[in-house]
Amino acid sequence: MLKSKTFLKKTRAGGVMKIVREHYLRDDIGCGAAGCTACCGAHEGPALEPQPQDPASSLCPQPHYLLPDTNVLLHQIDVLEDPAIRNVIVLQTVLQEVRNRSAPVYKRIRDVANNQEKHFYTFTNEHHRETYVEQEQGENANDRNDRAIRVAAKWYNEHLKKMSADNQLQVIFITNDRKNKEKAVEEGIPAFTCEEYVKSLTANPELIDRLACLSEEGNEIESGKIIFSEHLPLSKLQQGIKSGTYLQGTFRASRENYLEATVWIHGDSEENKEIILQGLKHLNRAIHEDIVAVELLPKSQWVAPSSVVLHDEGQNEDDVEKEEEREQMLKTAVSENMLKPTGRVVGIIKRNWRPYCGMLSKSDIKESRRHLFTPADKRIPRIRIETRQASTLEGRRIIVAIDGWPRNSRYPNGHFVKNLGDVGEKETETEVLLLEHDVPHQPFSQAVLSFLPKMPWGITEKDMKNREDLRHLCICSVDPPGCTDIDDALHCRELENGNLEVGVHIADVSHFIRPGNALDQESARRGTTVYLCEKRIDMVPELLSSNLCSLKCDVDRLAFSCIWEMNHSAEILKTKFTKSVINSKASLTYAEAQLRIDSANMRDDITTSLRGLNKLAKILKKKRIEKGALTLSSPEVRFHMDSETHDPIDLQTKELRETNSMVEEFMLLANISVAKKIHEEFSEHALLRKHPAPPPSNYEILVKAARSRNLEIKTDTAKSLAESLDQAESPTFPYLNTLLRILATRCMMQAVYFCSGMDNDFHHYGLASPIYTHFTSPIRRYADVIVHRLLAVAIGADCTYPELTDKHKLADICKNLNYRHKMAQYAQRASVAFHTQLFFKSKGRVSEEAYILFVRKNAIVVLIPKYGLEGTVFFEEKDKPNPRLIYDDEIPSLKIEDTVFHVFDKVKVKIMLDSSNLQHQKIRMSLVEPQIPGISISPDDISNMNLNGPEKKKMKLEK
Amino acid sequence: MAGLELLSDQGYRVDGRRAGELRKIQARMGVFAQADGSAYIEQGNTKALAVVYGPHEIRGSRARALPDRALVNCQYSSATFSTGERKRRPHGDRKSCEMGLQLRQTFEAAILTQLHPRSQIDIYVQVLQADGGTYAACVNAATLAVLDAGIPMRDFVCACSAGFVDGTALADLSHVEEAAGGPQLALALLPASGQIALLEMDARLHEDHLEQVLEAAAQAAQDVHILLDRVVRQHIWPSPDYPLLQSGPWGCFSPNIPRVSWHRQGWYAPHFMLRTPQLQ
């Protein structure tokens, strides 16, 4: 065992500092080939196969291992992930470079390397005595790494030859760098470019499509003119950011207008928080979610956010002039104070590309291999891909990854990754929306399932330790119909001293999910159960969610109970937390429970218990509202599904009963009690939930809208908001209050999980509670599992474990949970939208009453109360003369010809499904009433079934 | 962008060692003729010099003299050029004082102080270059210097640090690993009996992990002992069998070094005046 020392000099924060580090070289690092006698298997984990039976390559017929360089790994990871590619040597040098350059690729390559089937081996070449190379004078780090890779490749070839004389094993060096390849060949290393190698795999032609197309410098110049200005190098950007000439921020493309985006500036400075970018050239090839550097434009060039809705529809990619025309359209005259800081992208600090779902828009030219791909997410630009199977991919949902965006190209270049299935099919669409929202939905792996309890399961003596037997209590659960994951149950009884005992019993999921095992890790990753319209993506395996943890009636179940002693005015006298065993006496639906409470002649235990609960809940709710809790509203819909085809046959807004709020009230109480307890016990690492108060500017739209109806909404505190919302009634317009509440909901901030040690503002604005957490749904939320564990430690019923008391780990968990919750919410909305489409597809076109929620420059957003459906009515259409539109932001109102639209106006719209764009089938709404000539259509206008452009009948103006 | 990966998936640390391996240790005894005992040690890039005077009469205030045992006086300093950025004060700051105190506690537990009542033993340690594990290097250097001075001890005192990264305990942390901010534990051991002379950790570490880290540190300290033992032998009977500057860095993992120390088999240098330690 030899060692040597390297001396590295590094500069940090301006100063030059000499850093001396040791670097040990070893001779006990194995080559990774199973059965290699020289290395005597000096490692564990996945190894290379001794005789790889790899896909026959016409270039190198003998068995071989692959050794890719950094750029191949970074750009062609999709190819490497293919099951056909096996036996790959990943050098430490390569892996470190990948790690520094792209975290997602690094994670993917590690996942691949851990897969036994793939036979990937990571060779620690930097610490191997024979493959270590020192940086030479005048050699830069990149060249040194390239040389290190070649040295390792050469060593491998010699080493394998030594293994046995007749062994034909070869190591093939894969690089896309021409010079590097030449040098390798000179040194006698078999080397190919990735493209050459993949094309030589005659058995797997489909791999070619997965190749990332990276145009070489050569053919870049010839094709057309340069559209975009150059991105500045990172060093310049950092300099600029430090000196303040550039600002760093996250790029957020607009969903509604492809020529507009905002950049959220990082850091705490108050001014210039949000910068607007307008026009293709100013967007300069940035893609949604990228971290970019922007330069502020002089004030004279500032613009206001346009309220225009604009989609990229041109097929021809050379019509840059046309784009400029459209850009001009955005710049309409606006008042001075509307102007927002405007900038342009000067460079990209970090790309945040991921594979995108979408559809192929086949090129008009037959036999063309270049096609445009339209992502499902409208914030992502269209991507040009090269494929031979365009005809088979047409009409399918596919996944595409971006490879790059050259300066002379209108669209980014990408490559095909995966085919999901036919568009419009329920399974495909569900898959798409799960993928687009990054919802982990694969079936649970064997490793995860192995931690489930063995069936038949029963409560044992051991389980009863630290547990109270509450099976004698008259406990029941109240849930929506069809609910199989029942995580809460309630009871209420009168005590001898006249007080009431109320218990909330929550499924004891943390008893089954032990910290740190695969089951725990998987649930932590999923974070939440996602409810789609026809499907549920469970956070924990079904055995737990629908059976062992579910507090079904008439079976013994483990629970975590929170028991209060209250007097009749709902004041808490005593709180007790305990793990318990319960036996629920009834599983009721909200309607059933309501029926029991209302029918006077029922006097059984369950009913009296429910009545007691209901009485207390009403008092609790009153108290809560007095404190300033908000009652907001959002239209929620339920689909009635056909039991066989699972197609939606009816659409209904959710009904709210007294019992809904009864259960909710006690859940809130339990959550608050638990939050207090765990924060008391673990002031540094309690997992809590907060709801920040929205900044006053959020309410602007609500206040303006109310003012147009001569109502005043006070927004200084939650309480005054709640009160003014209560008072905002109009005798002639009963639905106004609901509309105002819907608008108020839109003004709110997201509630988030956080770790108490990392934050000092705990307030929950919406519930008006100083502290809050989630405790009551551990089957479907991971946050509750953590809270259960904390509480169990606090009451001494369970032992602690290292990660639980590590606030940084907890903060990481919170971050993931917040992300998953947000994504789950979006996925649910997308699922509802898809099913609404299916519903209207079967229903044909209908006319409904609607209320205007927002007014835009060229459209109005309306809400249809009957279906809880929201949609946009456009007033500008292609190939039609634009109507005279006057938009007033102050009131806000939109004047079309002679009709004025205000927020909350009642209109009548026609709803139909627009399938002109296969990818984005959408609900389309057109105005029926009030009638405007040239704009509205007649209600009984069925003659024009041509959905793409309904003809307009001239109607007489009514006003 | 991404921080340093302290332990790769393949089980190698930043400098190429495995989790339980020590850095290369080189040491010399009797580097100064003037002092009663002296030693110099290199543990990787950490370099320390120890000088021992005594036992001698109490210097300064007589009131400090202890009636039943010798007073152990330890002073720690680190050279201004020992770290990447130049230090202002070589000694006397809070950290140096604390280190001196820890060294004193360590050696009070190892030196048979009751043999020299009313006298004083001075141990001066200076760190010339700091690259992690300064306490351990100081203890190891001081042990050799005390041995060189012929002061009777219960046993060697061997020290080593250990850290904890991604569920694995790392022995003998380098500066890079220390700077990463994980928990770090310093352990001084009397290797024959396995008794702990000093254990120090001032970071948060869950108690479930403590045993694992302690185990790693103890094992590393045992390995240090084997190496120090060889240095002592080499010093007394220089022989080509034990080339001084090539004591392998991996201690017991190296096949040509016997795992069992001769010390334990009851062999003692006569002028050490050691008493057989009570073996458990």
- Cβ within 8 Å, pair A20-B16: no
Size of interface A-B (CB pairs under 8 A): 68
All residues of chain B having their beta carbon less than 8 Å from the beta carbon of residue A806 are: 206
B15 to chain A: closest CA residue? A23
Structure tokens, A748: 């709110």
pLDDT single digits (tens) A694-752: 888 888 878 888 887 777 888 788 788 888 887 877 777 777 887 888 888 888 888 88
CA distance A759 to A493: 39
A831-839 average pLDDT score: 82
The radius of gyration computed from the CA coordinates of chain B, to the nearest angstrom, equals 18
Residues 6+ apart with CB under 8 A from A521: none
Q: Could B5 and A99 be called an inter-chain contact, meaning their C-beta atoms sit closer than 8 Å?
A: yes
Q: What is the pLDDT of residue A218?
A: 39
Verify that A536 and A621 share a domain, yes or no: yes
Number of alpha carbons in the 13 Å side-chain half-sphere of residue A430: 16
Asked if residue A342 lies in contact with residue A303, where contact means CB atoms within 8 angstroms, the answer is yes
What's the confidence (pLDDT) of residue A216?
47
CA end-to-end span of chain A: 96
Q: How many helices (H) and strands (E) does chain B have?
A: 4, 9
> Residue A86 belongs to a domain with what CATH number?
3.40.50.1010
Query: Largest Cα–Cα distance in chain B?
Result: 61
Q: Determine contact: A99 vs chain B, CB below 8 A.
A: yes
pLDDT of residue A658: 79
Query: Does pLDDT of A323 surpass 70?
Result: no
What is the average pLDDT score of chain A?
Answer: 80
Pick from A80, A82, A100: nearest CA to A90: A80
- Indicate whether A716 belongs to any domain: no
Q: CA separation (Å) from A508 to A513, A549, A625?
A: 9, 7, 31
Which has the closest alpha carbon to A648: A532, A481, A482? A532
A464 vs A469: CA distance, rounded Å: 8
Specify if A613 maps to a domain: yes
In a domain, A897, yes or no: yes
Q: What pLDDT score was predicted for residue A377?
A: 79
Q: Tell me if chain B has a CB within 8 Å of the CB of A918.
A: no
Give the residue on B whose Cα is nearest the Cα of A97.
Answer: B2
pLDDT in the model for residue A944: 42
Residue B224 DSSP SS3: helix
Phi, psi of A337 (to 5 degrees): -75, -10
- Single residue among A790, A823, A856 that ends a domain in this structure: A823
In the predicted structure, residue A314 carries a pLDDT above the cut 90: no
**What b/e sequence results for A358-376 when a residue is b if at least 16 CB atoms lie within 10 Å of its CB, and e otherwise?**
bbbbbeeeeeeeebbbbbb
Q: pLDDT-derived band of residue A835, with 50, 70 and 90 as boundaries? A: confident
Q: Do B12 and A99 touch (CB under 8 A)?
A: no
The CB density around residue B79, as the number of other CB atoms within 10 Å, is: 17
Distance CA A509, CA A550 (A): 9
CA distances from A501 to A476, A602, B87 (A): 15, 21, 67
Q: Give chain A's domain count.
A: 4
Going by pLDDT thresholds of 50, 70 and 90, the confidence category of residue A395 is confident
What is the distance between the alpha carbons of residues B131 and B129, in angstroms, rounded to a whole number?
A: 7
Termini Cα distance of chain B: 52
pLDDT one-digit tens code per residue, A77-136:
888 888 888 888 999 999 988 888 877 788 888 888 887 778 888 888 888 888 888 888
User: Is residue A703 assigned to a domain?
Assistant: no
Mean pLDDT on A437-463: 84
pLDDT digits 0-9 by tens, B116-142: 999 999 999 999 999 899 999 999 999
Whats the size of chain B, residue-wise? 280
Enumerate the residues of chain A whose CB falls inside 8 A of the CB of residue B43. none
* Residue B217 contacts residue B196 (beta carbons within 8 Å): no
Element (H, E) at A476: strand A475-479
Could you tell me if A127 lies within 8 Å of chain B, comparing CB atoms? yes
Residue A829 lies in a domain: no
Please tell me the pTM assigned to this model: 0.65
- The H-assigned helical ranges of A169-315 are 178-186, 194-200, 207-210, 217-220, 234-243, 280-283
**Chain A residues within 8 A of B212 when measuring between CB atoms:** none
Taking CB atoms and an 8 Å limit, are B10 and A43 in contact across chains? yes
* CA dihedral for A417, A420, A422, A426, sign (positive or negative): negative
Cα three-residue angle A747-A288-A279, rounded to 5 degrees: 95
Cis peptide before A355 (omega within 30 of 0): no
Q: Is the confidence at residue A348, as pLDDT, over 70?
A: yes
Are A286 and A348 a contacting pair, CB within 8 Å?
Answer: yes
Q: Are residues A639 and A497 in the same domain?
A: yes
* Chain B residues close to A114, C-beta within 8 Å: 9
Residue A164 has pLDDT above 80, yes or no: no
For residues A175 and A231, membership in a common domain is answered with no
Cα diameter, chain A: 97
Q: Residue A341: is its pLDDT beyond 50? A: yes
Residue A900 lies in a domain: yes
With beta carbons less than 8 A apart as the criterion, state whether B186 and B138 touch.
Answer: no
Pairing mode, if any, of strands A859-864 and A846-855?
A: antiparallel
SS3 A520: helix
Q: What is the dihedral of CA A335, A340, A344, A345, to 10 degrees?
A: -160
What pLDDT score does A957 carry? 35
Q: In this structure, what token pair is assigned to residue A906?
A: 């009642």
* pLDDT by residue, tens only, chain B of 280 residues: 356 788 888 889 988 888 999 998 999 999 999 999 999 999 988 999 999 998 999 988 888 889 999 999 999 999 988 887 777 777 778 989 999 999 999 999 999 999 999 999 999 999 999 989 999 999 999 999 999 999 999 999 999 999 998 889 999 999 989 888 889 999 999 999 999 999 999 888 888 889 999 999 999 999 999 999 999 998 988 765 544 444 444 433 333 333 333 333 333 333 333 333 333 3
User: pLDDT band for position A386 (50/70/90)?
Assistant: confident
Number of Cβ within 10 Å of residue A927's Cβ equals 23
Q: Is B255 in CB contact (< 8 Å) with chain A?
A: no
Q: What is the pLDDT of residue B252?
A: 36
Residue at A255 is within a domain:
yes
> pLDDT tens digit string along A177-222?
888 889 998 988 888 888 888 888 877 777 777 777 665 443 444 4
CATH classification of the domain holding A352: 2.40.50.690
Give the least confident one: A16-20, A176-180, A602-606, A823-827: A16-20
Ramachandran region, residue A501 (left: φ > 0; alpha: ψ -120 to 50; beta: rest)? beta
DSSP, res A751 = P
Measured between alpha carbons, how far is A55 from A42 in angstroms, rounded to an integer? 28
Peptide bond into A930 cis (omega under 30): yes
Q: A353-369 pLDDT, tens per residue?
A: 888 888 887 766 666 67
User: In terms of domains, do A144 and A72 share one?
Assistant: yes
Q: Do A95 and A128 have their domain in common?
A: yes
- Measured distance CA(A257)–CA(A876) in Å, rounded: 14
Q: Do residue A287 and residue A405 come from a single domain?
A: yes
Same-domain status, A355 and A484? no
Q: Is there a single domain that holds both residue A584 and residue A641?
A: yes
d(CA A231, CA B161): 48
Q: Are residues A174 and A222 in the same domain?
A: no
**A477 min Cα distance to partner chain B (Å):** 39
Picking from A762, A788, A823, the residue at the C-terminal end of a domain is: A823
A15 vs A8: CA distance, rounded Å: 15
What sign for the dihedral angle of Cα A546, A551, A552, A555? positive
Render pLDDT for A525-579 as a digit per residue (tens, 0 to 9): 999 999 888 788 889 998 888 888 899 888 899 999 999 999 888 889 999 999 9
Whether residues A881 and A942 share a domain: the answer is: yes
Tell me the nearest-neighbour CA distance from B147 into chain A, angstroms.
30
Domain span including residue A179: 33-209
Q: How many angstroms away from the CA of A20 is the closest CA of chain B?
A: 8
Which CATH number is A951's domain given?
2.40.50.140
Contact between chains at B10 and A124 (C-beta distance less than 8 A):
yes
Closest CA to A61 of A199, A154, A170: A170
Q: A230 and A199: one domain? A: no
* Residues A851-870: tens digit of each pLDDT: 888 887 777 888 887 777 77
The C-alpha atoms of residue B158 and residue B144 are separated, in whole angstroms, by 10
Question: Which of A360-364, A513-517, A938-942 bottoms out in mean pLDDT, i.e. has the lowest?
Answer: A938-942
Mean pLDDT of A226-234: 82
Query: Is there a single domain that holds both residue A504 and residue A608?
Result: yes
* Final residue belonging to a domain, choices A209, A228, A252: A209
CB contacts of B16 in chain A (<8 Å) are 3, 23-26, 124, 126-127
Q: Tell me, yes or no, whether A501 lies in a domain.
A: yes
Using alpha carbons only, how large is chain A's radius of gyration in Å? 32
For helices A782-794 and A807-843, angle between their N-to-C axes, nearest 10 degrees? 140
Residue % of chain A over a pLDDT of 90: 11
Which residue, among A548, A538, A541, A545, has the nearest Cα to A456 in the 3D structure? Answer: A548
Residues on chain B touching A23 (C-beta within 8 angstroms): 15-16
pLDDT at residue A881 in the model: 64
